[in-house]
Amino acid sequence: MTRDQAIARAHESFDSGDFFATISRRVAIPTESQNPDRADVLKHYLTGEMVPAFEAMGFTCQLIHHPKARAPFLFAERIEDSALPTVLGYGHGDVIRGLEPEWKPNLSPWTLTDVDGVWFGRGIADNKGQHTINMEAVKHVLATRGRLGFNAKYLIEMGEETGSPGLREVCEDYRALLAADLLVASDGPRLQPERPTVFLGSRGGANFDLTIEARVGGHHSGNWGGLISNPGIQLAHALATITSPTGQIKIKEWTPEAIPASVRRALADCEVSGGDDGPVIEPTWGEPELSPAEQVYGWCSFEVLAFKTGNPDTPVNAIPPRAWARCQLRFVVGIDPHDILPALERHLAKHGFDMVKVTNARESFFNASRTDPDNPWVQWAAKSLSDTTQKKTAILPNIGGGLPNDIFMEVLDLPTVWIPHSFAGCSQHAPNEHLPSELLREGLGIMTGLYWDLGSGNTPSVVRDDKIAG
């Protein structure tokens, strides 16, 4: 049996409707981790869908509980030979709230619907569709070759959309159980819908609030204007010190000293595009002399997500007592996450804005992390994707958004290779989440080829260090 036969088997299964039926069952389970009433549903996704699917492929399964997490974690493993490479997979079965009333007519977040070759349903892109592709690919390799030819472990969580509570602690407590040579997982978008992509980590994200509490209650602007401070004006000027008028960050602790050479090489042929529905890139915004790809994948960005002072819905002739802004820094490797807010406080004080209070707006966040693009596993994976698709693989040092990649690198000491099966215009986290069926079909072929190659004996050499301890 051959690699091509395994990929053909995967495509035949997709074309027959088997894949659609499988992902339909999973989309129908409303695994909203942000909804406190869904705890039993989150667990059911693991016990009713994931465990039977893994056990049918010869995996052993166990649920791992942690007090921080609303639902357990699922660990599954299939160990064939201690001398073989061991690969850890990861996925999350939880989704953002369904937002049912906001979907287009005849569409529901909990019913997978095919509209002219585009599949709509909550989780089709993030992340049920993506980890289902990977699991089905494993099944087709087993059915074709009779074995994997490598050791496979999987960790499925049900809280990624709420910051992965407990994931770091589970990886710390079960480090030996999760030990592997490589992480292969799928999430996020491709660089472009038609181009196979690997990415190697993620930017970090820090959300924080800036607040000025000037006094209790508003005061008539005719009687007090010019006599008392306006928090809205003060906060606007404070925000203006953080970047230039074109978005260039002015806090030196918030930007890397330089983009590493290997990162620049990887990004040299990467063109950022949101497709026909994406916004137009503005070349005058952000860090001068950086390409769009370097801006998103190799640099940091500061955003004001919301700003409020007074009553925006019904303005009155009064000086507001308070102003508030929710802000965010997306940051790359090289930025000290523990100094982000202290550096901001020092910066504001230096510019005379001691009245601005800085508050962390999120209990935890994903730190910045990335595997070096020159790592042999990266080059091996990129070649596998190109062999399957006959297209040049895009290598992104990291995606622009956040993922718990730092946990796998820092705690489990793994090189990480992410192979996304989505695209930037998928309406992830929004109503009408969708993916083109042809992208899903290609992803299934890609992963079948990659898992076939993992078991063919031509992977990068690994240092054996009790990588399958359980």
* Nearest alpha-carbon partner for 437 in 197, 138, 121: 121
CA distance 162 to 164: 6
Asked whether 51 and 29 are in contact (CB, 8 A), the reply is no
Q: Give the pLDDT of residue 280.
A: 87
Helical pair 18-27 and 3-16, crossing angle rounded to 10 deg: 60
- 113-115, strands of its sheet edge to edge: 113-115, 118-120, 434-436
Domain boundaries, the chain: 3-202+368-454, 205-256+300-360
Asked whether 375 and 413 are in contact (CB, 8 A), the reply is no
Strands (E) in 267-420, as ranges, are 301-309, 318-319, 322-331, 357-360, 369-370, 394-396, 416-418
Grouped pLDDT means (10 residues each) for the chain, 470 residues: 97 98 98 96 98 98 97 98 97 97 97 98 98 98 98 98 95 98 97 95 96 97 97 98 98 96 95 76 93 95 97 96 97 96 98 97 81 96 98 95 93 98 93 98 98 94 50
Q: Output DSSP code: residue 98.
A: -
- Cα atoms found within 13 Å of the Cα of residue 470, Cβ hemisphere only: 15
CA distance 66 to 72: 7
Report whether the peptide linkage leading into residue 360 is cis, meaning its omega lies within 30 degrees of zero.
Answer: no
Q: Give the pLDDT of residue 45.
A: 98
- Please report where in the chains the tokens 């002399």 appear, as a residue: 289
- Please report where in the chains the tokens 């993620």 appear, as a residue: 202
- Tell me if the domain spanning 3-202+368-454 has CATH number 3.40.630.10: yes
Task: Read off the tokens for 98.
Answer: 């369904």
* Nearest alpha-carbon partner for 393 in 195, 134, 200, 199: 195
Cβ-based neighbour number of residue 345 at 10 Å:
14
310-323 per-residue burial string, b: 16 or more CB within 10 A, e: under 16: beeeeeeebbbbbb
Amino acid at 368: A
What is the H or E stretch that residue 128 is in?
helix 128-145
Helical pair 18-27 and 128-145, crossing angle rounded to 10 deg: 140
Q: How far is CA 220 from CA 146, 223, 226, 227, 230, in A?
A: 79, 5, 11, 11, 12
Asked whether 59 and 76 are in contact (CB, 8 A), the reply is yes
Asked whether 186 and 130 are in contact (CB, 8 A), the reply is yes
Please work out, in degrees rounded to the nearest 5, the angle formed at the alpha carbon of residue 269 by the alpha carbons of 263 and 275: 110
Please work out, in degrees rounded to the nearest 5, the angle formed at the alpha carbon of residue 309 by the alpha carbons of 304 and 310: 160
- Total-model pTM: 0.91
* Nearest alpha-carbon partner for 198 in 184, 210, 177, 212: 184
- Classify residue 121 by burial, with Cβ atoms within 10 Å: 0-12, 13-18, 19+: buried
- Classify residue 217 by burial, with Cβ atoms within 10 Å: 0-12, 13-18, 19+: exposed
Task: Read off the tokens for 34.
Answer: 């942000």
170-180 per-residue burial string, b: 16 or more CB within 10 A, e: under 16: bbeebeebbbb
* Nearest alpha-carbon partner for 71 in 34, 125, 106: 34
For domain 205-256+300-360, give the CATH number: 3.30.70.360
